[in-house]
Chain A
Amino acid sequence: MDRIQRALDLAKVQRTRAPLQGEDPRAERDALNREFSLSTVEFAARLPLDWVALRERRVIAPTDVHAAGHAYRMLRTQLLQRARADSLNTIGVVSAINGEGKTLTAINLALSLAAEPNQTVLLVDLDLRRPAVAATLGLAAERGLESWFAAEGPIKNVCYGIEGVERLFVLPTLAPIAGSSEALANINTRRLIGDLKDRDPGRLLIVDLPPVLLSDDALMIAPLLDAVVLVVHERRTRREDVVRVIELLGNTRILGTVLNRSLESELRAY
């Protein structure tokens, strides 16, 4: 009971805080600005998606009627509200360790966001040790961020559009980068994120980050981002790991958590 009471109190505090921020005139203007801004993303090519195969990899198409689809829509909506309220452009997706559904959450969230009208979404795979976005989506990309880190060309060379999903662009990493820490420590990373972010304030960057507890990569990138979403796998992520991640992320804003593989479905018969 005590636990429930505390949870309710927390929720109440958050609810009372949200409208106050929403009334901020500058944030209001930014939000309007973002909604009507045009997509100015330059990309190398538009690549097709095999939705049937994607379903087997648990990627949910915007049109699918699925309990998980509902959950991602809930996530999208809350994320958008906060992003617009606080002018957040870059949002990382982190987890404590690998295998907790971080990449899948990033992809499904990006797809879900892209389904929103007037919202351009860039999905960046910065998990340089075990890049998985391209493989999960089954993208037949020629070059990935690894080549950009190796020999800085224009970013549009590694940016791909998706056929059928107008406002989603993917910056995949095709192969693991040896010495990922050094590559990320490079000033280029800051420039990359800055570039992608500042090109258009209406864009939303979803960055797939490496597991926080397995390397320092995530910790290096996290300060460059506006906020992160923490992915937690029910009955797999350990409590002490979650606590440790929150400790490590320090000043980085954690927008919220996503509970994967939750046994409590939020979609009742509706």
Chain B
Amino acid sequence: MNVPIDKLASAREYLMAARHRRTPLIATFAAGLLMAILLALLLPPHWRSAGTILIEQQEMPQELVRSTVTSFADERVQVISKRVMTTETLLNIIRRYDLYPEERAKDTREALLKQMRKDIGLKMISADVIDPRSGHPTAATIAFEVSYTSRNPDLAAKVANELTTLYLNENLNNRTQLARDAATFLESEGDRLNHRIGELEADLARFKDKHFHQLPELTQLNMQLLDHTDEDLRSQEARKSSLQQQRVYLEAQLAQLKPNSTVFSETGERILSSSDRLKMARSQLDSARAMYGPDHPDIARLQRQVAGLEKELAGSASKTSTESVTSTGTDTGDLRRKLDSAQASLAEAVGRYGPEHPDRVRLQREVESLQAQLSAAPTSTPEPPKLTPKEADNPAYVQIQAQLSATLSDLAALEEQLAKVRARSLEYQKNVSLAPQVEQQYRELLRDYDNTRLKYTEIRSKQSEAKTAQNLEADRKGERFTLIDPPLPPEEPVSPNRRLIFIAGVVLSLGLTFAVLWLLESSDSSIRGRLDLLMLTGIPPLALVPHIGTEGERRAGRRRRQFALGTVTATAFVAVAFVHFFYRPLDVLWFTFARRFGL
């Protein structure tokens, strides 16, 4: 009883179903066909006009003149396309040729531009070539096609022409602009480098100026100079030491000589000079003091003698204060020597005698008096006796003294010279030691300078190349676009493809008809045939009553058949007319057939 409603459909069942439902099916097919015919007949024609632009290679060999425009042709076409398709340009064209009058009245500008862009076609034409540089087969764009589609053939040609011109001009501008840009850039870069070189040169000069003596070029010279100076120094030192020896010798000689020539009395006795006498008197006074009390007449006499001598000496030496000092100095030295000997005697006496022993007492007193004198005397160091040659009258003394003074002045001059040489040596040493550091900095500067110079030369040569390339573009000798096929008013519309629409319409109508049949059949769960009924009920049908036709039905059937015949005839007539007017005239078609079948 539970037989699936959706049963297997055999061709026979489909045919029966189609016969049963012929009315909706025929209606569906007819409606679809009518739609297709109407669509094919009534769609407005569109005309397309296209111009072909050839991309010509550079005339000059690339080896001779290299263009600065290196992008691929198709890439550039796309760039140009974007430039041409600007809102402003398109709107200009729309205004000039009064395109899309209806759309302009009601649509937005964006919709208008969108429509325009859709109508403009750009097609690359490429050829399979072998790249001369890499040797690989590639597709090279050799030309492109600019087209415009419109409802008016003349308008299509006009707008296509306008677009073609835009492309050509834009390419020219683009290329010259690119070449000019390259040249300008290189020029400015060259100037910049030039300026930089000037700066570096100034830096270098300044550096050289500052480290003139330490420059690496002068290292050798510095070394030599240093050697020389050292030699000089050594010889000077040697000379100095000989001079010093001479001086010591002369001084020693001088010390042995009296400035005054010795005066002898007639008796041949040497007359003592005042100072000698004073010295003698003083030493006598000292020993007298040691031996006697202060009031001893010897002491008084000696004191008077010393005073007289001192007065005399002071009178003679009033011009030179140095004498007194000298005498005092001499005194002090004598006093110390005497004190030393007295102290040594005292120490011996202490060891030998008792405290009351007179020798010991005398020695004691001597030491004490010497100490008192020593402490009273000034402590300044005694200067060597310096006597002016004027005063000196001993010729040997004077000669030696002159030699000494010459030696001394020689020594002083030598000393001065030595100092200079030493300073120079130090400087040379410094120069030599600083040289490596300076050299490094110097090399750095030099390297920088050299690099910049190199770059500058390079840029300048490139600049001249770019200049040539610019001229190439300006003279239109580079790669260029040539219009080989100007847009003409088309003679046949490009769309719609009425034949295709018609055929598609027929196919779609058939499909739709089948779909309708399937839909009706599958949505209908009615009984189909004897077996179906038997399956469903399990009771065999007693009778299968066919359709009982009536006379009225037969008449209606006849009428319907006549009507259908009329319709089919009319449709056929329309179809033939369609073929005649929109596909190919019938006579032409007939000849085509005749030729094909060899009639």
Residues on A facing B (Cβ under 8 Å): 3-4, 6-7, 10-11, 14, 55-58, 60, 66-68, 71-72, 74-75, 78-79, 101, 104-105, 229-230, 232-240, 242-243, 246, 254-267
Contacts and interface: CB of A to CB of B under 8 A. Distances in A.
B525 A264 contact: no
A240 B5 CA distance: 9
Contact of B545 (A71, A79, A240): A71
B551 A55 contact: yes
A236 B532 CA distance: 13
A258 B540 contact: no
A232 B533 contact: yes
A234 B529 CA distance: 6
The 10 closest A-B pairs by CB, nearest first: A75-B543, A256-B542, A262-B544, A58-B548, A71-B545, A68-B548, A71-B543, A257-B541, A259-B541, A265-B546
B543 A258 contact: yes
B543 A259 contact: yes
Contact of B526 (A71, A72, A75, A237): A237
Interface of B: 1, 3, 5, 16, 19-20, 524-548, 550-552
A78 B543 CA distance: 9
B533 A259 contact: yes
A66 B542 contact: no
Residue of B5, B524, B538, B539 with most chain A CB atoms under a 10 A cut-off: B539
Contacts of B533: 232, 242, 257, 259
A262 B546 contact: yes
B531 A3 contact: yes
Given A3-B531, A261-B547, A79 B526 contact: no
A235 B20 contact: yes
A256 B540 contact: yes
A234 B540 CA distance: 15
Given A237-B526, A243-B536, A258-B542, 12 more contacts: A14-B540, A68-B548, A234-B527, A234-B528, A234-B529, A242-B527, A243-B537, A255-B542, A262-B544, A262-B545, A265-B546, A266-B543
A56 B556 CA distance: 13
Contacts of B526: 234-239
A100 to B, nearest CB: 10
A257 B542 contact: yes
A263 B529 contact: yes
Contacts of A104: 548
A230 B534 CA distance: 12
B539 A68 contact: no
B553 to A, nearest CB: 9
Nearest to A82: B542
Contacts of B545: 68, 71-72, 75, 101, 105, 258-262
A248 B545 CA distance: 25
A262 B531 CA distance: 11
Contact of A266 (B534, B535, B544): B544
A67 B537 contact: no
B541 A3 contact: no
A259 B546 CA distance: 8
B527 A239 contact: yes
Given A56-B552, A71-B546, A258 B541 contact: yes
B535 A243 contact: no
Contacts of A234: 526-529
A230 B529 CA distance: 15
A171 to B, nearest CB: 24
B529 A3 contact: no
Contacts of A105: 545
A266 B533 CA distance: 16
B537 A60 contact: no
